[in-house]
Amino acid sequence: MATLNWNHLRVFAAIAENGGVTRAAQALGMSQSAVSQTLLRLETAMDRTLVRREGRGFSLTPMGEAVLADAQAMQTAAERIGLRVGQHRPELRVMVVSNLISPLLDEAIRLFHQRHPETLLRVDVRNSHDIVASLREQAHGVGICLLSDPVPELDCRFLFRDEWSVFCGVEHPLFGREEITLEELRTEPFVAFACARDGAGLEPMGPLSIRLGLGQSTSGISAHVEEVRRMIVSGVGLGLLPWSSARAEVEAGLLWPVRTTGEWLGTHIYLVRHPRACTLAETQFADVIEELLPLISSPRR
């Protein structure tokens, strides 16, 4: 046990909290091989297996779960000690879906920093499925993501509705047409979000596919709004986009909103936290959001 050090435990905790070696390496700014070697040294020093390798995935052994809990407790204790001696800055981790245009979030970050300049803001861009998974597993940080319904085990605060539409690019044969039948749309391939393809149900394509039979063929896929929009503009296929992200291209004549039905098409944006592990900074940020909600209207088409 004399060969153990805090860095080994810190890296192991990052692997567990980020869902694997690759993401842990990105979060820590280390190479994948260095992270893997650190995990191996820790398991060798303890003479215990902490992680089960399962193809591309992994899971923690019972010993791994116990060590993770202890490592997280040590991290919390270290943060408290750092605060006492004035050598550690409080940190707020905010996970946001890509390309979210939100005056509410902009003002919340501005006001939070104005009131708490000592807090280090760490903003990560992830898709909604990964944000929810991270909060379930790590119980750390706050998420701004789109959900079809609140997640039962998480604290979900509704912020605003984000209106979506089906779009096609300027090179697409349907561009500029006012009247398009559902039969025509059902034959068209769609550019899809990765979370929809994974069955997460966190964007409107799932209900649209079930209700209208659209998107049975996929011509492109990405986890990021910017890349989905790029493929639609380039004529790869039809696709769903939030109006807040597509408006500029529509005004520039690069995207065309395709009418499907008269129903509202969109999603709900939520502030998401783990109810049992909220830090002071997370609570302060949530308080700022609550203060601003009645004052700032949600984005409109």
Assigned token pair, 294: 């009645």
**DSSP letter string, 197-237:** HTT---STHHHHHHHH----SEEEEESSHHHHHHHHHTTS-
pLDDT of amino acid 201? 45
DSSP reduced 3-state for 260: coil
Cβ-based neighbour number of residue 148 at 10 Å = 14
| Dist CA 286 CA 105 (whole Å) | 11
- Identify the pLDDT of residue 265: 66
- Please give the Cα distance from 130 to 273 (Å, whole number): 13
Measured CA to CA, the distance from residue 101 to residue 80 in angstroms comes to 35
- Residue 161 has a CB neighbour count (10 Å cut-off) of 15
Output phi, psi for 29, to 5 deg.
Answer: 70, 30
Name the pTM for this structure: 0.55
Question: What is the per-residue pLDDT for 259?
Answer: 81
C-alpha 77/C-alpha 242 separation (Å) is 42
pLDDT tens for the chain, 301 residues: list them. 555 677 888 888 888 888 888 888 888 778 888 888 888 888 888 888 888 877 666 788 899 899 988 888 887 777 777 666 555 678 899 999 877 778 899 999 999 999 998 899 999 988 888 888 888 887 789 999 888 788 888 999 999 887 788 899 998 989 998 888 778 888 889 888 776 544 444 455 555 565 566 767 888 888 778 888 999 999 999 988 888 788 889 999 999 998 876 655 667 889 999 887 778 899 999 999 999 998 875 544 4
What percent of the chain is helix, strand and coil (3-state, nearest 5)? 45, 20, 35
> How far apart are the C-alpha atoms of 282 and 289, rounded to whole Å?
11
DSSP H helices in 234-272: 243-251
What per-residue confidence (pLDDT) applies to 262?
60
The CATH class of 89-301 is: alpha beta
Q: Are 221 and 237 in contact (CB under 8 A)?
A: no
Q: Which of 199, 191, 187, 197 is nearest to 219 (CA)?
A: 191
- Which pLDDT belongs to residue 27? 80
pLDDT at 301: 40
CATH topology of domain 6-85: Arc Repressor Mutant, subunit A (1.10.10)
Domain spans in the chain, listed from the N-terminal domain onward: 6-85, 89-301
